[in-house]
Amino acid sequence: MNKKQINIGFFVGYALIIAGAVVHILNIKVGFYILGVGALVNTLFRLRMLPKSEDRRIRRLNSQQFIVVACFIATAYLMYQNHSAWALPLMISGTIDFYLTYRYPKT
């Protein structure tokens, strides 16, 4: 896969995550499934994108990517349980993702 396809995959994944969150806020039960599919798409493209490196810094940043995935899983679980704290792991994942955007070295 080239970089453009990976970027489109990320866009689709995040669009589904945002749509799922908005639909869930509107009390429509299908929001959990939309968010779950978006998190799955995002995770698959995240795994495709991870740079293979022996550099310790890159490996540390790659491990932080899995914290984002764990937050997506926690968000989906809390939505499924109809718990109101589902937004917290979603905000944490967004913050970490934003941080990682600027920490990876430019290639």
**pLDDT at residue number 50:** 80
Cα dihedral across residues 30, 33, 39, 41: positive or negative: negative
pLDDT in tens, 20-61: 999 999 998 899 999 999 999 999 988 888 877 788 888 888
CA distance 36 to 16: 8
- Taking all residues of the chain, what is their mean pLDDT, rounded to a whole number? 89
**pLDDT at residue number 107:** 62
Helix/strand/coil for 92: helix
Listed in sequence order, the residues at least 6 apart from 105 whose beta carbon sits closer than 8 Å to its beta carbon are 57, 58
Selected residue with higher pLDDT from 23 and 63: 23
pLDDT band of residue 67 (cuts 50, 70, 90) is: very high
Domain ranges of the chain: 3-103
The pTM of this model reads 0.86
* pLDDT beyond 80 at 82: yes
